[in-house]
Amino acid sequence: MIGVPFRVVPSRIEETPRPGEAPRRFVRRAAREKGEEVASRYPAAHVLSADTIVVAGGRILGKPGDRDEAMGMLSLLQGRWHFVHTAVCLLRQESGYTDELCETSRVRFRTLTREEIAGYLRTGESDDKAGAYAAQGAGNLLIDRIAGSFTNVVGLPMTQTLAMLQSAGLLAVSRRGPGWYRLAGGKR
């Protein structure tokens, strides 16, 4: 969306909350640990990492293990409000640079029938998504209202991430070409 080149490097971090760990504390730790692990392999690079969780009734809803678990999650979410927390971490190991943020949005699902939930599950979108839905896809049809950032619900709060990249001196407004932004001063 920003229009600058990047490379996806999956981390090797297990995304599991510790016993008694608060949701926002967990998501911040997960994003930071994922970034630190990737930065240990690329110490000269700026690494942007993120983690997103869905929280309903104080319970973290991670990625469902199977369709039955996804059915349970969506049944829990339907007709009520829940929270989506996304933590973002920008770091560069070589210089010791670190910046973090955690964005929260409230999402309300409309009331759904069991058949609607089963139909959505057949799309396959829920298989690898926190809370068993993808707001950027057909899962958008489950949502009645969003209070906060839509891109946060998708998994990366773009306005806040853009500000983080600009604050780090990594982005400049492009004066020519098709992109709106460009990498500043040859940074990567």
For residue 67, what pLDDT is reported? 95
Report if residue 88 sits inside a domain.
Answer: yes
Considering the candidates 51, 66, 128, 144, report the single residue annotated as catalytic: 51
Respond yes or no: is residue 51 known to be catalytic: yes
Q: Which amino acid is at 42?
A: Y
Measure Cα distances from 101 to 74, 86, 124, 178 in Å: 27, 8, 30, 29
Report if residue 8 sits inside a domain.
Answer: no
For residue 76, what pLDDT is reported? 97
Report if residue 3 sits inside a domain.
Answer: no
For residue 174, what pLDDT is reported? 73
Measure Cα distances from 59 to 26, 33, 40, 147 in Å: 12, 22, 32, 19
Report if residue 109 sits inside a domain.
Answer: yes
Report if residue 1 sits inside a domain.
Answer: no
Residues of the chain with pLDDT under 70: 176-180, 186-188
Domain count, the chain: 1
For residue 187, what pLDDT is reported? 56
- The side-by-side arrangement of strands in the sheet containing 59-61 is 59-61, 47-56, 81-92, 97-109, 143-147
Report if residue 7 sits inside a domain.
Answer: no
CATH code: domain of residue 99? 3.90.950.10
For residue 143, what pLDDT is reported? 98
Report if residue 147 sits inside a domain.
Answer: yes
Q: 46 is in which domain, residue-wise?
A: 23-156
Report if residue 27 sits inside a domain.
Answer: yes
